[in-house]
Amino acid sequence: MTALCVLAETVALLGLLAAAVTFPLRLLRPDRDYTRWGQRGMLLGAGLLGMGLMAHFVRRGEGPLGDWANISFLLVLLLALAVLCVERFAKRPALAAFITPLMFGTALLGLLRAAKALPAISNHWLVVHILLSLVAYVCFTLAFAMAASYLISDHLLKRKQLERLPLLPPLASADRVGHGAVMVGLALFTIGLLVGALTFWDFGVGMDPKIPAAMVTWLIYAGYLGLRHLAGWRGRRLQWVLVAGFAMVVITFAFFGHNAVRLKAPDAAPVTTERA
C-alpha cells in the first residue's frame, strides 16, 4: 500500500469520524447545529473512498469486490447515498445520526481487514450475490434508522420532551418507511441468498459459511412482515424486531463477510490478493 493511499484512507476515516460524532450531537444538543460539519466530513470520507476504489481498479484492473476493504468501502458509498436521499426528501437531520456511525465502523472494519486475502471472484453470479446483499444491507440499515427514530420519538413523547421531535420523523412516517425498506431489502436479500447458495452448490465447494447466518437474518425480517401483516403487531415491539434483525445483519457482515470460499475452475492457478 502506497503512502498516498494510506494518507487518503486516513483522511477519509477522519472525515467519517467527524460525521459519526457531529450528527448524533445534533440529536443530543438540538440547540446546536453541527450537521454542516457532519455533511462535509461524510462527503469527504465517502469521496476519498470512492476515488480509492477507482484508483484500485485502474492500477490493478480489479473491481470494488477485490478485497475486504473494497467491499466495505463500497458499502460506505451506498450508505452515504442513502443518507443524502434521506436528508433531501425527509429533511430530518437526526436520521443520519443512526447511519453515519455505522459508516465509520464499516470503513474502519475494512481497513483493519485490508490485509486479509480474499479468493478471486471468477463467477458473475457471485458478483450479483454480493451486490444484491450490499444493497439489501443498505435497506435494512434504513429500516433500523427508522426503528431507532420511532423508539426515541415514542420515548420523548411519553416524557413530554418535545424539543427534539422536529429532528425526527413522525411515528407513522417512521413506521411506514421502515416497513417499505424491509419489503425492498428482503426481496433483494432473498434473491441474493438464492443466487449465492446455488452458485456455491454449482461449483461443488459446499456451503458458504455466511449462508446459515444470512438465513437467520432472513427469518427475522420475514418474521417482522408476518407479525405485522398476519398478527397485527404495531408500535414499539414491532420496531424492536427491526433492531434485532439489524443486529443480525451486523453479525453477518462483520464476522462472516463475503466470498469466503474460493470459486474457481479446478485447473485455475491459486490467486492471492494484496492491497495496493
For 30-61, write each residue's pLDDT tens digit. 777 777 888 899 999 999 988 888 877 767 65
Q: Are residues 99 and 62 in the same domain?
A: yes
Q: Is 200's pLDDT higher than 80?
A: no
CA proximity to 199, closest of 259, 118, 126, 130: 126
Asked if residue 242 is part of any domain, the answer here is yes
- Between 88 and 226, whose confidence is greater? 226
Q: Are residues 96 and 34 in the same domain?
A: yes
Q: Is 77's pLDDT higher than 90?
A: yes
Question: Last residue of some domain: 118, 142, 164?
Answer: 118
Query: Do 206 and 165 contact (CB within 8 A), yes or no?
Result: no
Residue with cell 462483520: 254
Could you tell me which residues are beta bridge partners of residue 263?
A: 121
Write down the pTM of the prediction.
Answer: 0.86
CA dist., res. 263 & res. 121, Å (int): 7
Q: Is 75's pLDDT higher than 50?
A: yes
Which residues lie closer than 8 Å to 106 by C-beta, 6 or more apart? 72, 75, 76, 79, 253
pLDDT per residue as tens digits for the range 201-223: 766 555 666 778 889 999 999 99
What count of other Cβ atoms lies within 10 Å of the Cβ of residue 179?
17
Asked if residue 270 is part of any domain, the answer here is no
Q: Which residues constitute the domain of residue 106?
A: 1-118
Asked if residue 275 is part of any domain, the answer here is no
Q: Are residues 82 and 17 in the same domain?
A: yes
What count of other Cβ atoms lies within 10 Å of the Cβ of residue 226?
12
- Determine the average pLDDT of the residues in 3-24: 88
pLDDT value of residue 69 = 79
Tell the burial category of 268 from Cβ atoms under 10 Å away from its Cβ (0-12, 13-18, 19+). exposed
CA proximity to 48, closest of 103, 88, 113: 103
Q: Which three cell numbers stand for residue 260?
A: 469466503
Q: Are residues 127 and 259 in the same domain?
A: yes
pLDDT value of residue 264 = 47
Query: Do 133 and 49 contact (CB within 8 A), yes or no?
Result: no
Q: Are residues 181 and 47 in the same domain?
A: no
Q: Are residues 21 and 105 in the same domain?
A: yes
pLDDT per residue as tens digits for the range 235-273: 999 999 999 999 999 998 888 765 444 444 444 444 444
CA dist., res. 116 & res. 83, Å (int): 29
Q: Are residues 31 and 77 in the same domain?
A: yes
- Determine the average pLDDT of the residues in 98-115: 88
Q: Are residues 40 and 161 in the same domain?
A: no
Could you tell me which residues are beta bridge partners of residue 121?
A: 263
Q: Are residues 243 and 177 in the same domain?
A: yes
